[in-house]
Structure 1
């Protein structure tokens, strides 16, 4: 398939620098319409609002809703004839299997896949410490990710990648020079290290993965998404909305023993 029209969305909000970096790059060769949240709606997953307000924006449309709202509104009525949906570029990585259902960025790509539209979720890993989210970013720092997304739109669509894959989850490090970062096909990391601590009437939730990332000490091997970005590579995870289930003889035997009422 050839790509002419792109729906661009995100979960950081329509004025986020990462979205503008992607819009600037993709609009050079494609007809890009943005349908994105008015404000930051990070980590909302695939929450739907039911009814949302809409306003015209210089890049397309601003929606008082979630990333999933934006994709449904976009593909359902605003710009139904698009070839690809791109979500991002998120400020902060979306790495690991445990983030896929939580991330608004990834969830927008999943929503597009249910419409049968190829999708790419794109995120920028920001090294540093727990205050990484306060960092002001330039368009240039998103270059590794925008380069990768542009390449995948042009080549993965024509090569038939999306005949067997529903969406691609792309994560990359910030660009520090004009030299392109290599890309690597990866699996989402299975490591999960969240915990909780109670202090009286409060419970604080901790995602200890980030501490490991900042220290560069994740145990993930080559071929896993977290390892790729720490090695200066762009991680590309090919994913499906309905992964095939493996035959389970134990469950089959168990269900055969169930006796329904006559």
Structure 2
């Protein structure tokens, strides 16, 4: 007995649905696999120290649900120093949002520490037991997530203490995040920047060559964008991500 056109169409639809579900499952699999990596920096041992332009710093991985109370306070202090002026009157409410975000289980971190003890030992070995000697001078908060159904590394925060700014550390951290994204098969690195933060906009667009994404308010709807105080930037790594996000 010959199959009817309706039967053929039904089979084709089921096949498409199955293909879509399998692709979705694969994307979530990538996210889950990336999130399960205990220490992303272990794959890049050459990047755990930053010794340039008069700086001697040590990098460590971290997770939002494992932050100590002193570390939470250091993060809040650095956020306030760098961001309060850009948010203005919106800062008190935004600070609450960022405080919730920073301890989320999906939050991942790269912490940057200065250590006088390490310098006093001719920088031969970093000693994590000297907790009181370490000073947090910067951090990156990132997550593995989906944007436009694509797995991406989303940079929530990149914050540096003023004394270490302008010395190549920010560029180094972003390049490291891109390496982590590649290692975990993410399609792009995505981030949000306040329009008022002109130095950050120049840093990402002019120095690092990030693009304003198709999902940024200014490209989705310029009329709505007038009332939005941020842009979404991205760097895509593959054709699919470039087609959807750039």
Higher relative contact order (CA 8 A, sep 6+): 1
Indicate the structure (1 or 2) with the bigger Cα radius of gyration.
2
**With structure 1 as the length reference, what TM-score do the two structures score?**
0.27
Q: Which has the higher helix share?
A: 2
**TM-score, L = length of structure 2:** 0.28
